[in-house]
Amino acid sequence: MKRFPNESIEYRQARSRLLQAEIDLRTKIEQVARERRQLPKGGLVKEDYTFEGIMPDGAVKSIRLSELFSPGKDSLIIYSFMYGPKMEKPCPSCTSLIDGFNVTAPHTTQRVNMVIVAKSPIERIMTFARSRGWDKIRLLSSYQNTYNRDYLAEGEDGSQLPMINVFVKSDGSVHHSWGSELLYAEAEGDPRHVDLVWPLWNLLDLTPEGRGTDWNPKLSY
């Protein structure tokens, strides 16, 4: 049994019980990930959506969903960034999450494709991206297509929602593989549908204070 300096018997007993709970949680997380990988093929994409992006020379380029797959990489992760054309500012929580995605993008894209999609015009998205220093993650605009609505990232009233969707390319066709539908499942408080990929909350959960109920990320401090 591992011990830390000067810990009490009471602490060690409680910590050992917690360790077993953490072991059980690890097993469950691995089980869920395995079941996710074993899902049958999802539906064929509704259409080969055309997005807009900015080239290194500043030119706007249209790109289809099927073109987002690099050779040898058959999976595509799309995070829907809550920054619609009627929103004065982008979602601070999404921004916090993408701050992390930007840093890890060079690692992530060694194995899979990943892009961030928002409903605003691409010039507006990139203006904000530059202010955050997002220079490693690919950002695209869905301003002129129905991707957000079709893949549960937009409400009927036009409100934007933070969905993650995964698509797979196989034999020349693109199919939906998985979506963070936990967003729509009944929950007490936050749905925590993207917690597994969000370092902020996982770090805070390690502390006695926890994530709390009265604090959220901000665009600036």
46-81 pLDDT, tens digit each: 999 999 999 888 899 999 999 999 999 999 999 999
Residue 213 is predicted with a pLDDT of 85
Domain ranges across the chain: 1-38, 50-182
Helix axes 122-132, 92-108, angle to 10 degrees: 80
Strands 75-81 and 113-118: parallel
Neighbouring CB atoms inside 10 A of 196's CB total 14
Mean pLDDT of 103-114: 97
What is residue 58's predicted lDDT score, i.e. its pLDDT? 87
pLDDT of residue 187: 86
Of 6-10, 26-30, 76-80, 210-214, the one with minimum mean pLDDT is 210-214
With cut-offs at 50, 70 and 90, classify the pLDDT of residue 214. confident
Terminal CA-CA length for the chain: 42
Phi, psi of 210, deg, nearest 5: 65, -165
CATH of domain 50-182: 3.40.30.10
What pLDDT, on a 0 to 100 scale, did the predictor assign at position 74? 97
Neighbours of 220 (CB within 10 A): 6
Instruction: Give percent of the chain with pLDDT exceeding 90.
Output: 92
- In the chain, the amino acid numbered 89 is K
Confidence of residue 10 (pLDDT cuts 50, 70, 90): very high
Instruction: Tell me the per-residue pLDDT of 132-172, one tens digit each, with 9 for 90 and over.
Output: 999 999 999 999 999 999 999 999 999 999 999 999 999 89
* pLDDT of the residue at 69: 98
- 99 neighbors 123 (Cβ within 8 angstroms): no
Give me the torsion for CA of 156, 161, 141, 77, rounded to 10°.
-130
Distance CA 115, CA 140 (A): 7
Residue 118 CB neighbour total at 10 angstroms: 30
Q: Give the residue with greater pLDDT, 187 vs 220.
A: 220
**pLDDT for 190:** 87
Q: What is the DSSP letter of 219?
A: S
Q: How many other CB atoms are there within 10 angstroms of residue 74's CB atom?
A: 15
Of residues 128, 49, 48, 55, the one with CA closest to residue 85: 128
User: Please, which pLDDT band fits residue 13 given cuts at 50, 70 and 90?
Assistant: very high
DSSP state of 197: G
Total-model pTM: 0.95
Phi, psi of 184 (to 5 degrees): -100, 0
Confidence of residue 18 (pLDDT cuts 50, 70, 90): very high
